[in-house]
Structures are given as C-alpha cells and as structure tokens.
A and B are shown apart, each in its own frame.
Chain A
Amino acid sequence: MTATTTTPTASTAHQHTATVLFAQGLRYEHRADPYPYYEQLLRQPVVRMDDGTWLAGGHREISLLLRDPRISADRLPPPQQRPIRKSLLVEDPPRHDQLRHLVTQQFVPRIMGMRDHIEALVTGLLDAHTSARPGQLDVVADLAYPLPVTVICELLGVPREDEALFGSLARRLTRGLDPIDTQTEDEIRELQQTRNELQQYLEGLIARHDTAPGDDLLAGLMHSHGPEGPIDPIDLRVTLGLLLIAGHETTVNLIANGTLALLRHPDALARLRTDPDLATPLVEEVLRYDPPVQMSGRSTLADIDLAGTTIPKGSRIRLLLAAGNRDPRRFADPDRFVADRTDNAHLGFGGGIHYCIGATLARAEAQIALTALARRLESPRLVADPPPYRENAILRGPESLPVSFTRLIADDGGAG
C-alpha cells in the first residue's frame, strides 16, 4: 500500500530520510565509515523505505526478527534473479533444517581440534616475512585472505591448485549479495555468468571426488544420509558453493577489521601482546564494532507488530546488523572499541536458526591470527588510514591493509 495523501506526512518524511541515509551508508565513498549514517538511521529502530521494503537497525528489533517464527530467510528477489536451488542461507524450515543438519554433522567434528593446525598456518604465513629489517606486509593478501581460504579448501577438499580460480569466482559472486540497486547492468550480467562458471567448477570437483573419494567434508557430504536420505546433487553443489564462498569472504574481513581496530587502539594491541586470553573478548568486540557481514535480509510471512509499527505480511526486511551492534539502547558507549567488553551480545554472526555455522571456526582463526600479529610485529603502523576498501557493501572490509613494522619477530614457538 502506498501513501495516497498529497502532502507528505511525518511518516513518509521519515521514510524518505531513511531511504536517503541508507543509500548514503552504502555509497562506496563512505565504505570506510558508514557508521555515522547507521547512527542516524537508528533514531527509528524499524522504518519503511521508499521502495516498500523495510529496514531494521535496532538491536532489539533485529534480534526479535532473526528469531521470529513469522519470518522467512527468502529475501524474495525478483524471480529472474533466483538461482535454481536456494542455499540453506536463504532456505526455510524444514528444508533448511535438513540441509543444516547434514552440514553441521560433517563440519563440527572436522573443526574440533583444529586450533594447532591454524596456529601452524599462521606461523607459516608470517614466517615468510620474518626479518630483522624494517618491512611491510599486506595483512589482507599475506594473512587474512590465505588463512581462511587454505582452511576451508583443506576442509572441503578443494585442491590447492584450484584456489586461485576459485578465489576469483568467489569474489565476483559476493557482489551478488549487495542490494540490487547498487549494481550495474553489467555487474548483474557478469554475476549470472560467474554463477555458471562456479556451477561448472563445482560439478567438476564433485565428479573428481566421485572417482577418488577422500575423507574431506565434501566426501562426507556426498556419502551422508540424513533422515531424508542422501543429499541430492543440486543441494550438494549449492551447499558446497555456499561453504566455499562463506569461507573465503567473511573471515578475511574479520581478521582485517580486527587488525585495523588493533592498530587504531594501541592500548588493546599492547595488552593482547602480553595477554593472549584477551583474544577471546577482543574478537567478539571486533564482531560487534566492525562486523564482516553488515546486513542480512528476511521477509515476513504474517503481519508483525514491532517498534510501534506493523510490518505487513509479504514485506522484505533488511536487517542492518552493523547498526544493531552500535545501538545505544543495547550497548554502553557503542562507538567505543572496548577490547574486553562484557555482555557483548553482538549480531556479528546473525541469530536464530540461521546463526553462522562457521562461527567457531571464524573465531578461532581470528583469535589466533590477531594474537600472532600482536606478538610478532614490532612497532606496527598503518601505511594508509583508512585503507582502500573492497567494492562489496555487505561483506565489508579492506581491499588491502599495508602495515609497516620495524621488525617481524621470529616465532619463539613458546620455547623462550
């Protein structure tokens, strides 16, 4: 329903302001700091936008929506945009639950006990730069990107030689998560083409596993039997694609955003250097303060009364997780980075039935990587502040993060 009055009412004025603020927050030139726009958006925790979609930015409202049974994860894109089969990320119960069950059964046991391996990978990646001389490294290219990519490829069973090809596909595909109106016609066309390339790549990967099965997660998924029987080939491909992309494009931002926060808060960096236990709350604070996934989407299956308004059945809702994370109604001093913040119920991993499957792995990778950086970089300094950011608005993070240092300290391996 649209407003039919001739003079703009207070609510349509709000609606228009919110639409403008949201668009501003998404603009590339504001990528390094969209938070001032989010802060203004937060003055109304739930608001209808000019295009009829809704925006939820309040922590309480987002939390409620994430857990509301009257919510679908299907964001209702235009039908021509719809992939053949939805991944569990945008699938609803009961199919979501079946797929998620299959994945967690394979995923959880494989990531348990992985911390030592992650430590070794981090040590290896940093050792390449060990030097008594002043130097520079790009935290994105040299650590934040290769670490999660290596881990997810090993877990899934993607051969090392495919990583480069796959990485480029993943990066192009994640643009598809951004709101459609920030993408050009060419980008939308390229997206479809990339989807086809990915599909071919995954079919090849599955076919190779058919002839030479390993003991990786892909093999596990191929041979697992849920209550509904074995996973069907299309679901397998879609799920695999989702895991690979999620493994490529989220933790990289968590580590990079965390590095950025550390270098901008030298007191936190100094504390982490001597107290590795600080890594646990610190990574939670990064997930709150500068989350790798800025927003998520849902649609309503019934009318939902929320924050004094009724979101009608069949509406699309954007959940601005990054705004909810800075909601002053929920967090004291929300714009301050507090490395050891307690009561940190952030929305960095979403919530409800779609809560991030990879949360445990992402936490471990970020805790280990940030601790290693704090310990091994002597007098680190940001070469560019802010650093150049990636195009992507939803999976937001630096494109590169050059850091200079006076010495990259050799890993003492705990022997000192």
Chain B
Amino acid sequence: MIGPERIVVAGASLAGLRAAEALRDEGFDGELTLIGDEPHAPYDRPPLSKAVLSGWLPTDRTVLPRARNIDARWLLGSPATGVDLAARRVALADGREVPYHRLLIATGTRARPWPRQQGGDLHGVHVLRSRDDADRLRAALAAGPGRVLVIGAGFTGGEVASVCRDLGLDVTVTHRGGAPLASALGGVIGDAVTRWYRDAGVDLRLGTTVRTLEGDAHGRLRRAVLADGTVVEAEVAVVAAGALANTEWLNGSGLAADARGVVCDASCRALTVDGTPVADVFAAGDVARWPHPLYPGQLLRLDHWDNAVAQARTAAHNMAHGSRAPRTHDPLPAFWSNQFGVNLKCVGLPALADQVVLTQGSLDQRQFVAAYGRRGRLIAAVAVDSPRVLDGYAALIEAGAPFPPVLNATDGPGRADPLDPAFPRPADPAPGDPSMPPTPPASSAPSPQPDPSASSAPSVLAGHE
C-alpha cells in the first residue's frame, strides 16, 4: 500500500493497543512502535476498581485480549517526554528518540494526586488508576484497616467504597457536592445514589471536602481533617478526585494540549495552538478532546472504555489512509459502573441536560431508567439494573427524539413529569474550603472541573472555544 512507513503510538493502553490492531487491519504494513510508561503489557482498567480490589481477580489476569498479532516494537517502561513536530521525532525518558511518519497520541490520563503539602505523601494515601495502584490498594485493604476514607464520590469513589463495604471495612466518603455522581447524573438521580451509599453503611459526608491528611511520627496516615472541622480517623485514604490528561510531554510542541487533554478535530487529527490540524499527528482515547456533532460548541473528553476503542479505530483508519475520505468520530458516548450491588449504564451525556424524567421503574426499587433532555430533545439516558433497555434509548437519542419521550413503557410512571436534573452549577462556590488541589506545575492551567471522577466517569470538560 502507499502510506506511512513508520507509525509511532505513544501510549500502550486500551486506545493504543486497539489502534495498533486496527492499523494492521487497515492494511498498514510498515514499522509500528508502541511507547508505554508502564512496564506492563496493555491491561484493562475497569476491573481494577471492581473485581481486583475485591480480590476476585489478580491484576495479572487483567491483560487485554489481543484481537490479532500486531507485529510491533514495544518500548515499555519509559514514557515519551517530548515531540518535535518538524523533525517528526518522539523523545523518550531513557534518552532514545523514535522517528515517525505518523504519530498517535494515546497517553491517556492519570489520577489527580493529593497535594504533598496537604498530606499527599503519607503512607496509606492511594490513588487508583494503574495496575500497580490497584495492587497497592488491594494489599492495603486486605490488611484490614480500621477505616478507609474515600475522597470523592464520583464513579471510582463509589466503586471503591462499595468494594470496601463488601470486604466488611468501615468507610467514610467525602464529597464536595450535594450527592454522589451529581455532576455526572444530576442531583435527582444523585439523591437515589445517596441512599445506596447509606443503605450499604457508608459514612457519607456531603457538601464538604478534606482539608488535610495527617499522619503519625512514622509518616503513616492517621486522620483527615475536613473543611467542616470534623476529623475522620482512617489508615487508608483513596483519592478519587478526577483525572489529569498526560500531556506534559507535549508542552512546547506547538500542539493545543493541556491538563484537559489534547485538542483534535472530528477525524482525530491533533490541532496546533492556532487551531490548524497537523496532518500526521492524531489523538485517541482518554487524552483526546474533540468536537462531537451531537454536542455543538463543545469539546468533549471522555474517559470511557467504549470511546477509547471506537476513537482508536477511527484514528487508525485515518492514519492508514491519509486524508482521503477521513472518517469522523461521532459515536454516542456510553459508559457503565457497578457499585453497591447495582449496574449503572449510561448513553449520551446527562451532564448537558436541562431536564430529567423517570421513564421506567422506580428510584426506590433501584431499578429504573431516567431520560435526560436538553432544549426539548432527548440527549441521554441512564439505566440502573436495566442494561438491556438502553440500546433503545440510544437509537431514540441518535434519531433526535423529542423530550420528554413518549414511551408508555409498561413499567413507566403514569405521567411523565420532567424535573430540573439539579446539576451543580460550575459557578457555585464549593462549600467549605479548598477547591481541588492545584495541578502539578508541569501542566498548564486546568479548567474548573465540576465533578472530579476517574476511570468510567463522563468527564465532559466543556470548554467554550
């Protein structure tokens, strides 16, 4: 085929691996190099906060299945540290330089760390993003701590708290908003989620944040002081306060990249700071921000498993075939979570809604579907313990169905009664003290993040450019 001879994929996780496979499927037969900062072969992250923490699955069983042999050179254990767009070379931390004809940026995100000056380097303070994080946290939980503190009630926070309760551990969860998942799903559904937490015996502290983590003389975590002045005694803390895009290595490259992600166009081509697409640099997965036709005027960054796979395929297609008839990446966002014994699945982006209506089931029974609307159109739906119905809603959303939708579902309420979904307004001052800890100096300024949450959360970082 006529095409690039050398493709470099920076990032050896889900998006990177699936892109590499897709490149081969698309007929790319040149030299393929994958760069990964971790020493591990690509693995699956969703089980880390679920099956792995609970002890059901060891991390060495989370390795991603390979769809095909990709015949690639693997440079693992050494992150990319820079890119020279003019010379088409990627620099690695170990000093090597890798030339490319086309480059895919798939470096993903990392957990937002707790600041050192607020106790972030105490023994017992964890984040959960990587396989090694999961191994450490699993060991800490298996040791039977007296209490676990989870900072943040987004998707990861909820999954961790749920596993802790399953393990019989006492758990305190702090959340700056009025309800868990409120910025992803709104306060109406968040209030139902609050009941899941409380029924499971979680000590849930809403409308507050952690001011500092404090340790003993040996540097071990002992307690947390909250913004409301109360103290929580805990030996393990899990910081589930959102994700930062791994884009520091792109600083100075001329690409439009910051802690919110790397900006690309609908066909996955990375943009420079002046908004021009770079012909030979693409982005996919958690790190990419792009315009989605269903959500005009916004740049989306999704850390969803499905999106990583789909975007990787689109990018690979366009990389292999150049600019002839590029594909655009516009699938309906979808993600899922398991916590407190319920399966939660979502299509579309609820966070953009101005109304919500319960269409099936009941909030109290923990089995329901809620539909979200924006300006009279159905834009999202969330299903709790009803995963099989969601494809139908997805089709309605894609067809531009009106909101509230006329469903007459047999398990629906007699009358559709749309409510304000009660999303926290970004302008709301956070109750209590500190906003999220500052981002590391290496990155440029982050946008305000309404609800920090990690792996499976819909991080809709709605920039307004």
A227 within 8 A of B: yes
A41 to chain B, nearest CB (A): 22
How far, in angstroms, from A69 to B412 measured CA to CA in the complex? 10
State the majority secondary structure of interface residues on A.
Answer: loop
Other-chain contact of B410, A301, A303, A313 (Cβ < 8 Å): A301
Residues of A within 8 A of B360 (CB): 69, 93
Q: How many residues of B contact A (CB 8 A)?
A: 24
Q: B410, A92: Cβ atoms under 8 Å?
A: yes
How far, in angstroms, from A70 to B401 measured CA to CA in the complex? 13
Chain B contacts with A in 399-418, Cβ cutoff 8 A? 399, 405-412
Residues of A within 8 A of B279 (CB): none
Residues of A within 8 A of B196 (CB): none
Q: A352, B389: Cβ atoms under 8 Å?
A: yes
Q: A67, B408: Cβ atoms under 8 Å?
A: no
Binds A, one of B39-47, B175-183, B390-398: B390-398
Residues of B within 8 A of A71 (CB): 392
A94 within 8 A of B: yes
Residues of A within 8 A of B411 (CB): 92-94, 97
Residues of A within 8 A of B389 (CB): 67, 69, 352-353
Taken residue by residue from 352 to 371, chain B's Cβ proximity to chain A (1 for < 8 Å, 0 otherwise) reads as 00000001110001010100
A90 to chain B, nearest CB (A): 12
Knowing A94-B361, A97-B367, A227-B365 are in contact, say whether A67-B391 is a contact too (CB < 8 A): yes
How far, in angstroms, from A69 to B405 measured CA to CA in the complex? 10
A59 to chain B, nearest CB (A): 13
Other-chain contact of A352, B388, B405, B406, B412 (Cβ < 8 Å): B388
A68, closest chain B residue (CB): B392
Taken residue by residue from 65 to 109, chain A's Cβ proximity to chain B (1 for < 8 Å, 0 otherwise) reads as 001111110000000000000000000111001000000000000
How far, in angstroms, from A97 to B388 measured CA to CA in the complex? 11
Chain B contacts with A in 362-389, Cβ cutoff 8 A? 365, 367, 369, 386, 388-389
Q: A301, B399: Cβ atoms under 8 Å?
A: no
How far, in angstroms, from A303 to B390 measured CA to CA in the complex? 19
A302 within 8 A of B: yes
Residues of B within 8 A of A302 (CB): 406-408
Residues of B within 8 A of A93 (CB): 360-361, 386, 409-411
Q: B406, A69: Cβ atoms under 8 Å?
A: no
How far, in angstroms, from A72 to B392 measured CA to CA in the complex? 13
How far, in angstroms, from A380 to B411 measured CA to CA in the complex? 52
Residues of B within 8 A of A70 (CB): 392, 406-409
Residues of A within 8 A of B367 (CB): 94, 97
A60, closest chain B residue (CB): B395
Q: B392, A301: Cβ atoms under 8 Å?
A: no
Q: A69, B399: Cβ atoms under 8 Å?
A: no
How far, in angstroms, from A227 to B410 measured CA to CA in the complex? 19
B366, closest chain A residue (CB): A227
Chain A contacts with B in 276-312, Cβ cutoff 8 A? 301-303, 305
B306 to chain A, nearest CB (A): 16
Residues of B within 8 A of A23 (CB): none
B406, closest chain A residue (CB): A302
Residues of B within 8 A of A301 (CB): 407-410
A356 within 8 A of B: no
Q: B388, A67: Cβ atoms under 8 Å?
A: yes
Residues of B within 8 A of A68 (CB): 392, 395-396
How far, in angstroms, from A351 to B369 measured CA to CA in the complex? 18
A20 within 8 A of B: no
Residues of A within 8 A of B361 (CB): 93-94
Residues of B within 8 A of A351 (CB): 388
Knowing A69-B359, A301-B410 are in contact, say whether A353-B388 is a contact too (CB < 8 A): yes
Residues of A within 8 A of B407 (CB): 69-70, 301-302
Knowing A69-B369, A94-B361 are in contact, say whether A352-B410 is a contact too (CB < 8 A): no
Knowing A93-B411, A355-B388 are in contact, say whether A67-B395 is a contact too (CB < 8 A): yes
A72 to chain B, nearest CB (A): 6
Chain A contacts with B in 347-368, Cβ cutoff 8 A? 351-353, 355
Residues of A within 8 A of B399 (CB): 305
Residues of B within 8 A of A67 (CB): 388-392, 395
Residues of B within 8 A of A94 (CB): 361, 365, 367, 410-411
How far, in angstroms, from A169 to B159 measured CA to CA in the complex? 49
A78 to chain B, nearest CB (A): 20
A273 to chain B, nearest CB (A): 26
B233 to chain A, nearest CB (A): 36
A64 within 8 A of B: yes
Knowing A69-B409, A301-B408 are in contact, say whether A352-B365 is a contact too (CB < 8 A): no
Knowing A69-B360, A94-B361 are in contact, say whether A303-B388 is a contact too (CB < 8 A): no
How far, in angstroms, from A301 to B361 measured CA to CA in the complex? 16
How far, in angstroms, from A305 to B365 measured CA to CA in the complex? 31
Q: B408, A352: Cβ atoms under 8 Å?
A: no
How far, in angstroms, from A63 to B395 measured CA to CA in the complex? 10
Q: B409, A352: Cβ atoms under 8 Å?
A: no
How far, in angstroms, from A72 to B360 measured CA to CA in the complex? 13
How far, in angstroms, from A93 to B386 measured CA to CA in the complex? 10
B401, closest chain A residue (CB): A305
Residues of B within 8 A of A69 (CB): 359-360, 369, 389, 392-393, 405, 407, 409, 412
B345 to chain A, nearest CB (A): 13
Residues of B within 8 A of A313 (CB): 408
How far, in angstroms, from A81 to B410 measured CA to CA in the complex? 21
Q: A72, B410: Cβ atoms under 8 Å?
A: yes
Chain B contacts with A in 428-462, Cβ cutoff 8 A? none
Chain B contacts with A in 46-82, Cβ cutoff 8 A? none
B391, closest chain A residue (CB): A67
Taken residue by residue from 221 to 233, chain A's Cβ proximity to chain B (1 for < 8 Å, 0 otherwise) reads as 0000001000000
A357 to chain B, nearest CB (A): 12
How far, in angstroms, from A303 to B406 measured CA to CA in the complex? 8
Residues of A within 8 A of B388 (CB): 67, 351-353, 355
A63, closest chain B residue (CB): B391
Residues of B within 8 A of A72 (CB): 410
How far, in angstroms, from A54 to B201 measured CA to CA in the complex? 51
B399, closest chain A residue (CB): A305
Most buried by A among B359, B365, B396: B396
How far, in angstroms, from A264 to B207 measured CA to CA in the complex? 68
How far, in angstroms, from A97 to B282 measured CA to CA in the complex? 45
B67, closest chain A residue (CB): A342
Residues of A within 8 A of B393 (CB): 69
A95 to chain B, nearest CB (A): 8
How far, in angstroms, from A301 to B408 measured CA to CA in the complex? 6
Q: B410, A64: Cβ atoms under 8 Å?
A: no
How far, in angstroms, from A303 to B399 measured CA to CA in the complex? 14
How far, in angstroms, from A92 to B407 measured CA to CA in the complex? 13
* 9 cross-chain pairs, A with B, having the tightest CB-CB distances, nearest first: A92-B410, A93-B411, A301-B408, A67-B391, A67-B392, A68-B392, A94-B411, A353-B388, A302-B406
Which residues of A are at the interface with B, using a C-beta cutoff of 8 A?
A: 63-64, 67-72, 92-94, 97, 227, 301-303, 305, 313, 351-353, 355
Q: List 7 A-B contacts (CB under 8 A).
A: A69-B405, A71-B392, A72-B410, A93-B411, A302-B406, A305-B399, A353-B388
**Other CB < 8 Å A-B pairs besides A64-B392, A93-B409, 15 of them?**
A67-B388, A67-B389, A67-B390, A67-B395, A68-B392, A69-B405, A70-B408, A70-B409, A71-B392, A72-B410, A92-B410, A92-B411, A94-B361, A97-B386, A303-B406
